Structure 1
Amino acid sequence: MTKFISVPSRTKEILDQYGIRAKKGYGQNFLVDPVIVEKCAQMSHPEGAVIEIGPGIGSLTEQLARYARFVCAYEIDERLIPVLKDVLSAYDNIEVIHKDFLTEDLDAKAAELKKQYGTVSVCANLPYYITSQILFRIFECQDISCITVMVQKEVGERFAAKPGSAEYSALSCEGQYLYDVKKLFTVPGRSFNPSPNVDSVIIQFVRRDTEETPEEIRSFFALVRGCFKQRRKTIYNNLKEYLQDAEKASDALQKAGIDPSRRAQEMTTDEIRKIFEVLK
């Protein structure tokens, strides 16, 4: 029986066979821990379709294909497309798309997958350098009910951070607004090839029911990012810059009952939401 791709010796064999080396520019680190990879796939709510971003040489993709009805994997590195098609050829439920995930019409793709497979989740070992951008984009898509991602430990800690803490950020605010967030487990640096200098964590987001439209969510998130744009600035100064209108910013804060001298990192999601409702 052929070893799973995530077995270190099999990973090395594939990398040597195709002359592949991890590209720092794409934040590539290949998972070489079969226990963690399978556990991650099993816990990702793979009942229907699963979207993966950055499959690399397919270690997680392979395990997802064993549990999900369908796997849609986005890979930006053209060197890896023929590798993926070769090493995953035994599976007929995988679509490998050579594309920058951030340029995809995610709403349309997720709606298509949901219609065909019932549920859509995301499971990925995210490139460290672009984690926030990818998650911000996924958060905006209503049809994705569960997100299970491997991220740098310090990034993972931001998701669970509370207002007033140093780690609390726009990412914390957005994630906790739409999702129940929990840390599943820690992944040591030695579980990757090459091994990074930091540990990772696997974080899971399960979406709460909401009646808001994608447009409303995007508008609210734009406001959140505006409020957090410069952490040292007061909510008034950031909001004034976001709105390009000092009087409108002052009026909105007054109507929302927010002290203009406070900072966004001290405020709850509900408080920022009050500003959004006033500005509607």
Structure 2
Amino acid sequence: MGLLLVRYAEMGLKSPGVRRYFEKVLTHNMMAALARERLEAFVESQYGRLFVTTDRPEETAATLRRVFGISSLSHVRECSSEVKDIRRLALEVATPLLKDGSTFRVEARRNGVHPYTSMQLAAQAGEEIYEAHKHRGVRVDLHHPDLVVYVEVRDRRAYVFSEYLDGPGGLPMGSQGKVVALIRDERDALAAWMMMKRGCRALFVVENEETMRILERWDPEPRKVSGPAGKAVQANKAFGLVVGWSLDELQDNITLNTDVPVYHPLVGMGNEEVERRLKEIKG
């Protein structure tokens, strides 16, 4: 079985009650995304972190990197918070990744009460790695190392890893209400994606099925609605309508002939930024 440590950013700034609600929404979205890919996992919440246990960690990580609200995740190995166990595990993690003559450093952080500081723990784990590999010319470099070994101690458990995998960030989709997204071209898809990243559940009025496939990778439970976009907003009690218009289109007085609020997430973007972001969400 593999273990993933999942981090969120903005959610951690909320009050405890709001954070618990956001964690509940995020966990639901994670499980929905995994279910769509037929991946089984167990999700456990600890303060500021989510832990995912699965027998298919690589595929699970790839899927979770498309879940809004996740800032990053890591494949981790687990041991007790005892220094001797952390030293042993740090060496096990580092050994297959160190090449002859390479450099490394250890970064440690803690949550809870322990008989050592984070700096002391980093020094202890670093000493274990250095002593085992100094005959290969391996050195410590605190500024520009070839490898960073991370240690995160949470109460009585410790987690050791070597890599951060970026997520999309933002807020859990569905935590900030509903919007109706008109999907006609790729700009509309990007506009909807940006509102989804800010926590909105998008209801899609689809006029281009090929473009819609871009968003289906990011929404495990896409909901399509029919009829005029303005009426769809009212019928579903959504906050408003989302479109991908540019500033030039607005200046040309293009209208949707609707009396509901219209959101324009791309209005401040140039064509180069739009293309760059589209390439990212397609990838």
- The structure with the greater share of residues assigned to strand is 2
Instruction: Tell me the TM-score normalised to structure 1 length.
Output: 0.28
Higher relative contact order at CA 8 Å, sep ≥6: structure 1 or structure 2? Answer: 2
TM-score w.r.t. the length of structure 2 is 0.28
